[in-house]
Amino acid sequence: MELETVLNERWSCRGFLPDAVPEETLRKVFTLAQRTPSWCNVQPWHTHLVSGGAAEQLAKVLTEAAVAGGLNTDFPIPAGYHGVYDDRRRAAGYALYASLGIERSDKLARNLQMLKNWSFFGAPHVAVITTDRDLGVYGAIDCGGYVANLVNAAHDAGLATVPQAALAFYAEELREFLGLPDDRQVVCGVSLGYADPEHPANAFRTERAEVGDAVTFVSDVSSLEGKPDDQGSAHRARDLAGLRSPLGRRRCLEGGGRDPSDPPAVAHGRAEGGQRLCHRGSRRPDAGRRRLGDPARTRHPRPVVAIDRVRLR
């Protein structure tokens, strides 16, 4: 399949057939996902691909945890959705519930549908993706790229998938079930198998914003001036171009910038189903004292490459 076709056609499946995928196909898909780029090529992702009876047992553990309520995540969940993000989130949710014939006011039906996350929407396989704790947010970014390649490679192989942050809501249960060491953080899960073409949850497709809403094409820095909120971008662009160097600081290409291991702020919010959320990102013993201005925050590993007043031609 053409890459363009794969990107345009892939979609998130929420109704699978029980048929197992041949091991050869699974190996091909996961081998392709291994081609994902990562910072310094560290390849921090690790996948536990849980299938068959083990998947059924895991579904039971996670569903029980979800019914009991309360979450434990390794990463902060979104603190809130505002503006266009809220619009898009709602549109996706309403499209799903409309295709299932669930009224907006029917909270019980919505919660029962949400609960299906933890039995993988009937998929015979679920991939649990973890990263290394010390690699921080960049490790998670690398895993995000891996997930994208995985779902696209799976689509190309005739499989259906759905990435699921919901599976990471119960990191402790996954840690215990899979025997994960404490330095592995659960990023998300991906359920996969063959789509049930008759399932109503598979009858809708989501939309995307126009490219102009997502990409600012910059060829002339001065064109950024004067726009609300663009002042910072213009200054940053000038910094990069060596035109302005606040504090005359040396910059570094690798190992510099914001400390990637900065602990995330504790987030509180609500999941799609309205559950109250909180994560345990503050587990680091020094989490509370690493604030702006704290020397601990500005300590960086020795830069691999340092550049001073780079001039772009």
Ligand X SMILES: Cc1cc2nc3c(=O)[nH]c(=O)nc-3n(C[C@H](O)[C@H](O)[C@H](O)COP(=O)(O)O)c2cc1C
Which of 9-17, 105-113, 212-220, 258-266 is the region at the interface with ligand X (rule: CB under 6 A)?
9-17
Three-class SS state of 122: helix
Report the C-alpha gap between 268 and 79 in whole angstroms. Answer: 6
Question: Helices (DSSP H) in the chain: which residue ranges?
Answer: 3-9, 23-33, 52-68, 83-100, 107-115, 136-156, 171-178, 211-214, 231-240, 295-298
Nearer to ligand X, 129 or 224 (CB): 129
- Min dist CB 24 to ligand X, Å, is 26
12 scored as a contact of ligand X (CB under 6 A): yes
Cα distances (angstroms) measured from residue 74 to each of 67, 183, 272, 294 = 20, 10, 18, 24
**C-alpha span between 21 and 13 (Å, rounded):** 15
How distant, in Å, are the alpha carbons of 102, 144, 161, 277 from that of 189? 25, 11, 10, 18
Please name the residue that has the structure tokens 């990102």: 281
Q: Is 31 in the site for ligand X (CB under 6 A)?
A: no
Rule CB under 6 A: say whether 92 interacts with ligand X.
Answer: yes
Question: Interface with ligand X by CB under 6 A: which range of 11-19, 56-64, 212-220, 256-264?
Answer: 11-19
Least distance to ligand X, CB of residue 241, Å: 34
Stretch that binds ligand X, among 56-64, 99-107, 156-164, 251-259 (CB under 6 A): 156-164
Query: Any contact of residue 117 with ligand X (CB under 6 A)?
Result: yes
Cβ proximity to ligand X, 14 vs 110, nearer residue? 14
Q: Which of 206, 216, 223, 298 binds ligand X (CB under 6 A)?
A: 206
Which residue's CB is nearer to ligand X, number 126 or number 166? 166
> Residue 157 carries which side chain, given as an amino acid letter?
A
Question: Could you list the residues that contact ligand X (CB under 6 A)?
Answer: 11-12, 14, 92, 117, 162-166, 188, 206
